[in-house]
Structure 1
Amino acid sequence: MFTITDDLGTQHTFGQTPKRIISLVPSLTETLYELGLEDEIIGITKFCVHPYHLKSVKINVGGTKKVHIEKIKALNPDIIIANKEENTLEVVESLRDIYPVFVTDIVTVEDTLKTITDFGKIFKRTTDAKKWTDKIEFAYNDFKHFMQDKKWQKAAYLIWREPYMAAGGKTFINEMLKLNKFKNIYELFEGRYPEVEIRKMRIQGDPELVFLSSEPYPFKEEHAFEIGRATHHAKTIFVDGEMFSWYGTRLFKAFQYFKALQNRIKE
């Protein structure tokens, strides 16, 4: 028997290692897979697209905001993995009375490392977890060294259109922007993902760079033109949203992506 506390302060006690896992968080589904837990994963969301083959061999229990309770009950999980931002409080509360719901709250690199370590303890994969945290820490320190002489640039990171929405403060995306020395002009705006008016961008922060994320909204060239026209001199750049918003083991790949992005911006 062992007890572990999740990021919301809820204590979970397990008589044995959980063997039947449902993950409601796409990036953490990938992380569980990378820890060697493919066989233990029994249910995922429709947004759990990495690794791709899981979609055809695991039960789809719905989305991240709305789940099929009856499907989850039929699977009878030992544990459900959730996230404070990714999943709604309503979803978590509807499930926690029936099953252990381990809720993560991930904003920083350090939070990511803690989550991987926690998974190692819960699922008896401490060696695999240590390998991943070591790899990520090495890549993290290497990237910080790479960024040492880079100058800060003002930026906006857009995630949605109609209405336009940007990544604000207290988000994982904002932390990734800071690591890249991009000063987020919307960091101090109210809300994690504030609605913004692109025609006001110049007076709200006058960004040098405007990032158009590949998810959740599929930005296209005409949107880049629209934004460029409104901001006059800002450079619009399409970026891989997974690299900025997926925590977990994906972070290891993200640091390599960020190096390439920095070089692309210089061109």
Structure 2
Amino acid sequence: MKRFLLLLLVLVLPSKGLCYERVVVLYAPASGIIKALGAGDKVVGRTRTDETFPKAVNVGSHLRPNIELIKALRPDLIVAGSKRAFPEELEKRLNTKVYRYDPRNIEDLLQCILDLGKLLDRQAKAESLVREFRERLTKLMPLKRPVRVIYEVSQSPLKVAGQRSIVTAIIEKAGGVNQVKVNRKHVIISPEEILKLNPDLYIYQEGPMNRNPIPPRERPYFSALKAKTLKVDEKEFARPGLNVIDAILRLNRLFK
């Protein structure tokens, strides 16, 4: 009888073994959330450009991680991006639990926060972060009409955000509409097509994907561009992390 009761307790009580203690983060936008959850002490590996956890081991880039180095860290959880960035073949080689952090819209992002909270035994903090996010969304101001937007990802080749980009979710939540309707994350486009779409606002990012961009109005092929232009930090807009709420509110104020 005593043995049966012990077994019952094991099955009913939450197990600490169900949360993860050694984490390798292969997609930097997730790092900010892990830090906000208060679980940074669990991170043992990170990508080369991820500065959130400087004491964690550098395991290479998110597209070309050092698999043998990751194995040596003995992680019990890997936080990766899409299957395109971290293919299933690599996942099989590691034989470790992989969580796919790849939010495409605001609800996806909030769910990712809750998921990470559960995986890292920080459920209460995750729920608090989600509540705070939703509360800040109540500060959005209504607009008389949607603002037509195009978001430049890179100047050369000329590439813009498509419908599957988190940028589109930011624009829409702020009260705008992405003029590019292609169902892809990034879309190569011609200057002529952009002029034809006739946006109200042309946003261009500056960062690793678009280093030292020339202001659109100084480019000969945009001499006929009527839109207002806005330069933004790539980290603020193109990375699907907690920064998204600040980007939404900033755009909403600008649209107003």
Shorter-chain TM-score range: 0.7 to 0.9
2: CA distance, partners of 1:169 / 1:197? 17
After TM superposition, list the pairs within 5 Å mapping 1:87-102 onto structure 2. 88-90=85-87, 92-97=88-93, 98-102=95-99
Query: Within the alignment, does 1:43 sit opposite 2:61 as a pair?
Result: no
Q: How many angstroms does 1:119 deviate by? A: 1.2
Would you say the 8 A contact 1:139–1:255 is kept in 2? no
Equivalents in 1 of 2:215, 2:131: separation in Å? 42
SS of aligned partner of 1:142: coil
Check if 1:117 corresponds to 2:110.
no
Query: What residue in structure 2 maps to residue 184 of structure 1?
Result: 178
TM-aligned CA deviation for residue 22 of structure 1: 0.5
- In the TM superposition, residue 178 of structure 1 has moved relative to its aligned partner by 1.1
Amino acid at match of 1:207: P
Alignment partners' CA distance in 2, 1:248 and 1:162: 26
Asked whether the equivalents of residues 198 and 230 of structure 1 are also in contact (C-alpha less than 8 Å), the reply is no
Alignment map for 1:192-203 (pairs within 5 Å):
192-203=185-196
Give, as a single letter, the amino acid of the residue that structure 2 aligns with 1:165. Answer: K
**How far does the alpha carbon of each residue in 1:50-106 deviate from its partner, in whole angstroms, 9 at most, with x for none?**
x3xx23x11111112111111101111010001227x5243x431344211111331
Partner Cα separation in structure 1 for residue 134 and residue 79 of structure 2: 24
Q: CA deviation at 1:255?
A: 3.8
Q: Which deviations, in whole Å up to 9, do the C-alpha atoms of 1:104-146 show, x marking residues without a partner?
A: 3311111111111111111110111111011101112322xx1
CA RMSD of aligned residues (A): 2.5
| Aligned pairs for 1:74-89 within 5 A | 74-84=72-82, 88-89=85-86
> Structure 1 stretches of 5 or more lacking a match?
3-13
Identity of aligned residues (%): 21
Contact 1:156/1:211 (<8 A) preserved: yes
CA drift of 1:46 comes to 1.8
Check whether the contact 1:27–1:250 (CA below 8 A) recurs between aligned residues: no
Which residue, out of 19, 26, 49, partners 2:21?
Answer: 19
Q: Distance in 1 between matches of 2:215 and 2:136?
A: 35
What SS class does the counterpart of residue 18 from structure 2 fall into?
A: coil
Query: When the two structures are aligned, how many residues end up with a matched partner?
Result: 242
Match of 2:232 among 239, 256, 259: 239
1:168 maps to amino acid: G
Contact 2:75 2:96 in 1 (8 A): yes
1:219 Cα shift? 4.0
Question: Counterparts of 1:1-267 in structure 2 under 5 Å?
Answer: 15-49=17-51, 51=52, 54-55=53-54, 57-84=55-82, 88-90=85-87, 92-97=88-93, 98-143=95-140, 146=141, 148-186=142-180, 188-189=181-182, 191-203=184-196, 205-215=197-207, 216-226=209-219, 229-262=222-255
- Provide, for residues 146-186 of structure 1, a one-character-per-residue CA deviation record: whole Å limited to 9, x for no partner: 1x134212221011122100001122111111122322121
Give the distance between the partners of 1:136 and 1:107, measured in 2 at CA. Answer: 16
Q: Deviations over 1:201-257 (max 9, x none)?
A: 222x11121111123212434554117734431222101222322223223433443
Mapped partners of 1:72, 1:253: distance in 2: 33
Corresponding residue of 1:10: none
In structure 2, the CA distance between the partners of 1:259 and 1:158, relative to structure 1 (3 Å rule), is same
Q: Is 2:20–2:120's contact at 8 Å kept on the other side of the alignment?
A: yes
Residues 106, 31 of structure 1: CA spacing in aligned structure 2 closer, same or farther, 3 A cutoff?
same
User: Retained in 1: the 8 A contact 2:27–2:79?
Assistant: yes
Query: Could you state the TM-score of these two structures normalised by the residue count of structure 1?
Result: 0.81
4+ residue stretches of structure 1 with deviation over 6 A? none
1:113–1:151 Cα change, 3 Å: same
CA distance in 1, matches of 2:62, 2:234: 17
- Contact kept? 2:173, 2:248, Cα under 8 Å: no
